[in-house]
Amino acid sequence: MDALQRLNKKSIRATDIAAQYWCEKQMELNYLEGPKIRKEMQKGSEIHEELEHETNIPIVLQTKSYADFMYKSLYTTYMALETLKENKKSRELLVYGNLSKYRIVGKIDELKTSNESVIIIEDKTRMSNNMPSEAQKKSHKAQVILYKKLLSEIISGVYNEDIFSKEYGISRLAVTKEFERQLDALEVPKSMQGLSEITDKFFKSYRSIGKLSDTLMIRYINQYTHDLINKYEFKVGDEEVNDTINFALKYWKGEREALPVPFEEKWKCDYCAFFGKECKVWFPQRTL
């Protein structure tokens, strides 16, 4: 049995893979025991929402079914990609992919056009103006590296509308009549109100954004003042991209159990709500 079956999941989130590089055991427990969200994580979500409203056109659609939800997700990103063409940047863009038979889904914080290429940007919030440790950066880097892989495969056509439609059963889905009325109110053309049609628009828009920059960026933002602390820019080669993804997938394939943090990083346990309760890997050594 692979990890998706054990955790009762149908796809892997980009944030799951990032969390594996912080503590894989914690990531697994979030599904087995239920997530325990800290206040700083909630503050981070609020900042992301504020930044999204600065660039994207607000789209108000009430969903009544899974088909409605899928349409809204694809349409919202399609419209965000339209703002990228006009404003040279856009935020909160859904991205899909398939790695070793596993469906992957993520949400890119920002795409920005610079020097005729598109930069992938990830925003992380901090409680202080200090830059994160290398252990924290490793988790953040893994997430952005995955986004580059997924987006590269969409742009190249390796992952396309046909594959997506088969994986998500798009041809079998139809939005509700109430949802159609909402689309009419937004003046969405009738020719674009079907799931197959918005799927095509979604992928064609991604393929038209241009060349991806070799540089990836992580911005660190103070969660209280909302000020930029610093930027962290880096480049990755194909070997590092593949190594990052393959390590994570070994867990999902069931080739190994969830790994706890190594002994030298057991300080992370002080920030984990599962420590000493559901997880006692380093609990006996807590005073060392």
DSSP assignment of 154-170: HHHTSS-HHHHHHHHTG
Q: Provide the residue-wise pLDDT of the chain in tens; the chain has 288 residues.
A: 789 999 999 999 999 999 999 999 999 999 999 887 555 445 445 544 555 445 556 688 999 999 999 999 999 999 999 989 889 999 999 999 999 999 999 999 999 998 889 999 999 999 989 998 888 899 999 999 999 999 999 999 999 999 999 999 999 999 999 999 999 999 999 999 999 999 999 999 999 999 999 999 999 999 888 899 999 999 999 999 999 999 999 999 999 999 999 999 999 999 899 998 999 998 876 544
**Sequence spans of domains, the chain:** 11-18+38-242
pLDDT the model gives residue 69: 97
Query: If you search the block for the tokens 């790994």, which residue do you land on?
Result: 259
C-alpha span between 57 and 167 (Å, rounded) = 29
C-alpha span between 280 and 284 (Å, rounded) = 7
220, 254, 214: which is closest to 236 by C-alpha? 214
Tens-place pLDDT, residues 50-90: 554 455 566 889 999 999 999 999 999 999 999 898 899 99
Q: Identify whether the C-beta of residue 19 lies closer than 8 Å to the C-beta of residue 36.
A: no
**pTM across the whole model:** 0.89
Strands, E assignment, 80-166: 89-99, 102-114, 117-126
Which DSSP helix (H) or strand (E) runs through 251?
Answer: helix 238-252
pLDDT the model gives residue 52: 45
